Chains A and B, each alone.
Chain A
Amino acid sequence: MIETYTRLKEINIDNSRKPGGIEIKGLEVFYGQKQILKGIDLVFPAGAVTAIIGPSGCGKTTLLRCLNRLNELAHGCKVKGQILLDNEDILKMDPMLLRRRIGMVFQKPNPFPKSIKENVLYGVKATKRKCDHDATVQSCLQKAALWDELKDRLHESAFALSIGQQQRLCIARSLAIVPEVILLDEPASSLDPISTMTLEASLLAMKGEYTQIIVTHNMNEALKVSDYVAFLYGGKLIEFGETYNIFRNPQRQETQDYITGKVY
């Protein structure tokens, strides 16, 4: 694992983009009459990996989907408050421009019904980003630890890959448009342990270049990968801090209960 990590760390896709920090102020989200998030104030430090943990239904995925405004696609969703990306309010931006700066990897891998190469380059062509296509494909696939396996199969359909490979392809696809922030919604939940390890190596290697926000159920993953942890419960932020401190010395009782497994 360490060897993979050092190999991946050396790969650079684009040096011009700096990772962005996100600041959330007083966020409230309603689906119809029901309030999901009740006043969240949170800072995601730039370049670091922050894990969002909490029991099911506490609003983790909602919070994540607020950050790239994907929740607006659902009917009856109302958002109040402020979310700042490098001091610009996300909620007032053009959503499409926003989504080019904040990328997302979903729980269930969703590659497009196209070839592997076209999948990676899809975002590049759609946003008309000027770059060397072949070089981009190579570096993105390398960063997602797929290049060695797939370099001779770039024209095959993405559907023919295994689930673990598909998920890493989705990561490569998001990397191609060089976002500042990457959101990951339980990225390893569909994967077997070995694919999970490879995935985690890629995530670690992206530290420093990208701000990563991971929603996860898996405590081990949070421990291994993240620098900071935010604990959400019942739509409110209970505790936030460095991973080591949260897991060793939780300040709040709820955090303690959840980490030790008394609450699901």
Chain B
Amino acid sequence: MTDNTAIAYLGKEKKTVMHKTKSIQIIAGFVGAISAITMIMGGFTLAVNSIEVYAIPLLLTLFLSLTILFFVVRYWHQKTSSAVFFFAFISLASVITIMFLPQYMQWSNINGIIHRSLISGVLELVVAVPAACYSTYYFFGATPRADDISRYPILIFCTVFALSAYAFIIYQIIFKAAPYLNWSVFTSPFSSQYRIVELWQNGWPTFSTQDLRQAGLLNHILGTLLLMGLTSLIALPIGVSVGIFVHEYAGPKLAWIINFSTTALRSISGVILAVTALSILGMSRAGTLFYKIIHGFGYDVNGSMQVGRSSYLFASVFISLLVIPLIARATQEGLGSLSKEIREGSTALGVSREHTLFHIQLPWSFPNILTGLVLGCAEAAGSLTIIFLIAGTGQFGVGPLNETTSLAYLIFDCRYGKSMGDQVQSLMGSYQYAAALVLLIITIGLTATALILKNKLAKRYKGA
């Protein structure tokens, strides 16, 4: 698109310049203040039912002030602002609607009773946000610059509304996990085992069971870390190879095939990979070594071997399929950012292509690859879609050949537990929030690290 087209687009610009009449400013300011209050009230009404009592008075005030604004603008500038009129009308209509609605409504078999506050909250927002925009517009004199400023209320409202949802989530996790945060929670492993103890009584051996059950997050934390580590180990060589091969050696068709496959593995639902993992697990014969390796085994307190549902190694192989595209894309970006001339300079010195690759290109791309790796670790730590069908309690040890578990799985298990029926829920149910908090810290920490690395990268191109 050339600059000429840009000019053509602007042909419809209307020139509207109004003088900042004092009275318009006062009215507009008043409308703006009322609509700001209404916006906030509307937000709260959506949360709390009882606040809706303020809806009618606020909307009524808004209606009155908008009407006044409409007439004042018309008087001073002979301009009929249809938008202001329209919203004044809507606010009146909302008042009437709310007055005549019952407090609880139900119709047409809908699954629930709708409280009136939902409607009044929505109406408040629908009227207040445009009113805020228009009042700002008139407050600043209805110039094109005022037009710009008038967009702020709606943008700020949407942004704050969206971000507050996340603040709510994080606050709730921290708040609800706080009572359970003590050192023992993080350092003791979960166990639901009973040890069989041999006792001697009156010269005869008897056996009694010793209750060794305890709740703790240690295995899950270590499990999450182990998954991260194994996945990085597998995904890093493959991802970097994909990036190098596509960038350096592949022809266009082959490059397209490889790129498509790599991104497709991420785009198709993760549950498909989970189902494939499940079917492979079902294919192996019980009792063989291969079966034990992919199913994961460990020894319980009594020394007997317990075979689980899937091992860390097996799960990591599938999670790495999701992580490879991240690393491959990062590698390609890194390689692509090195100018062709530098590569030519190396070739002109009589140096082989591989030497250039390993001594110039890969060191240059190292920060990019590192960023991709860190993001991949964050992905692996939080990954549940692959393992939620095949993970277990992981209480028999944490190693590549043990049964898989992770913090994310614990949260899932507590509600939809298949691994041990109710036992997990009863023992660990109250630690869900603590687990969520630790998981949040790990993933947010890794993502923040990756962001910082990216920022450092951007400074590199400025010369030194």
Is there any pair of Cβ atoms, one from A and one from B, under 8 angstroms apart in the complex?
yes
Q: Is the C-beta of B170 less than 8 angstroms from some C-beta in chain A?
A: no
Q: Give A127 to B350 CA distance when docked, in angstroms.
A: 8
Specify the chain A residue showing the minimal Cβ separation from B360: A112
Q: Is the C-beta of B346 less than 8 angstroms from some C-beta in chain A?
A: yes
Q: Give A123 to B355 CA distance when docked, in angstroms.
A: 11
Q: Is the C-beta of A96 less than 8 angstroms from some C-beta in chain B?
A: yes
Contact between chains at A160 and B464 (CB < 8 Å): yes
- Partner of A123 from B338, B339, B351 at Cβ < 8 Å: B351
Chain A 99-143 interface mask (CB, 8 Å, partner B; 1/0) = 111011010101111100000001100110000000000000000
Q: Give A170 to B349 CA distance when docked, in angstroms.
A: 11
Q: Give A104 to B341 CA distance when docked, in angstroms.
A: 12
Q: Is the C-beta of B345 less than 8 angstroms from some C-beta in chain A?
A: yes
Chain B 330-373 interface mask (CB, 8 Å, partner A; 1/0) = 00000000110110111111111001000110011000000000
Contact between chains at A110 and B351 (CB < 8 Å): no
Chain A 166-178 interface mask (CB, 8 Å, partner B; 1/0) = 0000100110010
Q: Give A174 to B347 CA distance when docked, in angstroms.
A: 11
Contact between chains at B341 and A106 (CB < 8 Å): yes
Q: Give A112 to B355 CA distance when docked, in angstroms.
A: 13
Contact between chains at A68 and B351 (CB < 8 Å): no
Q: Give A95 to B450 CA distance when docked, in angstroms.
A: 42
With contacts A112-B346, A159-B463, A160-B464 taken as known, whether A96 is within 8 angstroms of B341 at the C-beta atoms is no
A113: chain B residues at CB < 8 Å are 338, 342, 360, 363-364
Q: Give A113 to B343 CA distance when docked, in angstroms.
A: 11
Q: Is the C-beta of A263 less than 8 angstroms from some C-beta in chain B?
A: no
Interface members, chain A 58-112 (any B CB < 8 Å):
68, 70, 73, 96-101, 103-104, 106, 108, 110-112
Contact between chains at A123 and B364 (CB < 8 Å): no
With contacts A110-B342, A112-B342, A160-B464 taken as known, whether A103 is within 8 angstroms of B348 at the C-beta atoms is yes
Q: Give A127 to B348 CA distance when docked, in angstroms.
A: 12
Using C-beta atoms within 8 Å of the partner chain, give the interface range for chain B: 20 to 34
Contact between chains at A73 and B347 (CB < 8 Å): yes
B348: chain A residues at CB < 8 Å are 68, 70, 99, 103-104, 106, 174
Q: Give A101 to B350 CA distance when docked, in angstroms.
A: 8
Q: Give A126 to B353 CA distance when docked, in angstroms.
A: 11
Contact between chains at A126 and B355 (CB < 8 Å): yes
Instruction: For residue B365, give the distance in angstroms from its CB to the closest CB of chain A.
Output: 11
Q: Is the C-beta of A198 less than 8 angstroms from some C-beta in chain B?
A: no
Specify the chain B residue showing the minimal Cβ separation from A113: B364
Instruction: For residue A190, give the distance in angstroms from its CB to the closest CB of chain B.
Output: 11
Q: Is the C-beta of A196 less than 8 angstroms from some C-beta in chain B?
A: no
Interface members, chain B 409-464 (any A CB < 8 Å):
463-464
Chain B 140-181 interface mask (CB, 8 Å, partner A; 1/0) = 000000000000000000000000000000000000000000
A99: chain B residues at CB < 8 Å are 347-351
Q: Give A151 to B346 CA distance when docked, in angstroms.
A: 24
Specify the chain B residue showing the minimal Cβ separation from A127: B350
With contacts A113-B364, A157-B464 taken as known, whether A96 is within 8 angstroms of B346 at the C-beta atoms is no
With contacts A112-B360, A159-B463, A160-B463 taken as known, whether A106 is within 8 angstroms of B351 at the C-beta atoms is no
- Partner of B347 from A70, A108, A170 at Cβ < 8 Å: A70
Instruction: For residue B252, give the distance in angstroms from its CB to the closest CB of chain A.
Output: 11
Specify the chain B residue showing the minimal Cβ separation from A124: B349
Instruction: For residue A74, give the distance in angstroms from its CB to the closest CB of chain B.
Output: 11
Instruction: For residue B141, give the distance in angstroms from its CB to the closest CB of chain A.
Output: 51
Q: Give A112 to B345 CA distance when docked, in angstroms.
A: 8
Contact between chains at B349 and A126 (CB < 8 Å): yes
A126: chain B residues at CB < 8 Å are 346, 349-352, 355, 359
Instruction: For residue B297, give the distance in angstroms from its CB to the closest CB of chain A.
Output: 49
Instruction: For residue B203, give the distance in angstroms from its CB to the closest CB of chain A.
Output: 81
Contact between chains at B350 and A98 (CB < 8 Å): yes
Interface members, chain A 145-182 (any B CB < 8 Å):
157, 159-160, 170, 173-174, 177
Q: Which of A101, A113, A173, A174 has the most CB of B within 10 A?
A: A113
Instruction: For residue B119, give the distance in angstroms from its CB to the closest CB of chain A.
Output: 62
Instruction: For residue B90, give the distance in angstroms from its CB to the closest CB of chain A.
Output: 61
B352: chain A residues at CB < 8 Å are 96, 126
Q: Give A152 to B188 CA distance when docked, in angstroms.
A: 57
With contacts A108-B341, A112-B342 taken as known, whether A122 is within 8 angstroms of B464 at the C-beta atoms is no
Q: Which of B339, B345, B364, B463 has the most CB of A within 10 A?
A: B345
Specify the chain A residue showing the minimal Cβ separation from B338: A113
Specify the chain A residue showing the minimal Cβ separation from B364: A113
A174: chain B residues at CB < 8 Å are 348-349
- Partner of B344 from A70, A103, A177 at Cβ < 8 Å: A70
Specify the chain B residue showing the minimal Cβ separation from A159: B463
With contacts A110-B339, A110-B344, A112-B360 taken as known, whether A173 is within 8 angstroms of B349 at the C-beta atoms is yes
Contact between chains at A96 and B463 (CB < 8 Å): no
Q: Give A174 to B349 CA distance when docked, in angstroms.
A: 7
Instruction: For residue A254, give the distance in angstroms from its CB to the closest CB of chain B.
Output: 31
Contact between chains at A177 and B360 (CB < 8 Å): no
B364: chain A residues at CB < 8 Å are 113
Specify the chain B residue showing the minimal Cβ separation from A125: B359
Q: Give A157 to B463 CA distance when docked, in angstroms.
A: 9
Q: Sort A-B residue pairs by CB-CB distance and give the 7 closest, nearest first.
A: A99-B350, A100-B350, A110-B341, A104-B348, A123-B349, A110-B345, A126-B351
What would 8 A/B residue contacts be, using CB atoms closer than 8 Å?
Answer: A99-B348, A100-B349, A104-B348, A106-B345, A113-B364, A123-B349, A127-B350, A177-B349
Using a CB–CB cutoff of 8 Å, the interface residues on chain A facing chain B are: 68, 70, 73, 96-101, 103-104, 106, 108, 110-114, 122-123, 126-127, 157, 159-160, 170, 173-174, 177
